[in-house]
Structure formats: C-alpha cells, structure tokens
Amino acid sequence: MLLLAESIPKLMAQMPSAKSKNPYLRNISAAAVAAGDEAEAQALHDVLMTHLGTLTSNAERKAVYLAVGASPSLAIKRKVLEWAVSGELKMQDFFYPIGSVSQSSPGGLALAWAFYQEKFDELKDWLAKASPSLMDAAVVYSVAGFATAEKADEIEAFFTVPSAKDPAVTEPKLPQSNRKIMQTVEGIR
C-alpha cells in the first residue's frame, strides 16, 4: 500500500489539465484511502491532503473531500471530521468530508453522527447566516446511512426540543431544516 501512496503524486502529475473534471482522482483516491493498515492509511491520508492544495478544479477537490474519510482508521476519520469544521474549507464544501466518513463504514457512520451531535451548537452558530441547505447537507451526510427505526427515533428526538409555551409539546430544534430532517428520518425508517 505504501507503493500506492508513492504512486498517487506521480499519477496526479500526469493527469490532464487541473481544470478538467478528471474521474481518475476520484476512483483512485477512494480505493486507495479505504485500504491498508494504520500506517498505510496515514501515509495515504497525508498524500491526499498534501496534493489537495495543488488542485485548482472544484471537481477534483470535491473528489478528494469525498474520499479522504474512507480510511479504515477511526483516528484518521476523526481528524477528517475536525478538519471539515475547522474553517479551512469553503463553507459550501465542509459537509463532503463528513459524508466521506459516514459513508465509509458502520463505524464511520456512528462516528460522524456522534461528531455532529458533539459539534451541533458550533455548527448552528457557524451556519446561522448561511443558506439552510448547508445545515441540511450536514444533517443528511451525518445520518443517511442508518436504517433502523430505533436510530430514526434517536435522530428525531435529537432534533426536537420542548416548546417554551407547553413543555409537553415538542418543536423543531432547527425550524429551517425541519422538513429535510423529517424526510431523512422517514428514509431511515
């Protein structure tokens, strides 16, 4: 696998123009990141993160964002999640690495959902003036792989709070995203 880590930079250098929508980066990145042991996973992660800075095409950067969380290492997955919300990415792209973690494995999905819950208040503040579609994407990318009624109930409960007028009644924690959250919960059920 370390040989693959060494070959990725060479392959990327041979790709057509950086402005092209090159499918090779996406395919190789996802396959490479998902394989190997801890050391190999770290080496591949480092290569992708280093070469991410050289990419000028949004499509190629997005391909890396969607692959970088596929590592078998939970520690690297956590690092990817922290990076996604660090402010280093454009706000419009931050949810792609979250999706790469959640879609990588059952452990990645559980980690992404736990991370979303942990960072909820920070995300809510950060995205307060942004389009509600960004919060929608963060929610969907954090939970869409679940497939049990129990998990749907947990997610639904997380996104509701007691009403200020009547504590026996609940209301949405994210009113602008409530429709998307309920659609996602129904899809999980």
The predicted-structure confidence for 67-96, as pLDDT tens digits, reads as follows 889 888 999 999 999 999 999 999 999 999
Tens digits of per-residue pLDDT, 95-128? 999 999 999 999 999 999 999 999 999 999 999 9
The pLDDT value given to residue 33? 61
Contact predicate 156/185, CB 8 Å: yes
Selection from 59-68, 110-119, 167-176 with the highest mean pLDDT: 110-119
CA–CA gap between residue 26 and residue 72 (Å, rounded): 17
Q: Give whole-number Cα distances, 35 to 85, 110, 172, 181, in Å.
A: 25, 20, 40, 33
Across 34-43, 46-55, 121-130, the highest mean pLDDT is recorded for 121-130
Statement: residue 24 has pLDDT above 70 = no
Q: At what angle do helices 95-102 and 106-118 cross, to 10 degrees?
A: 140
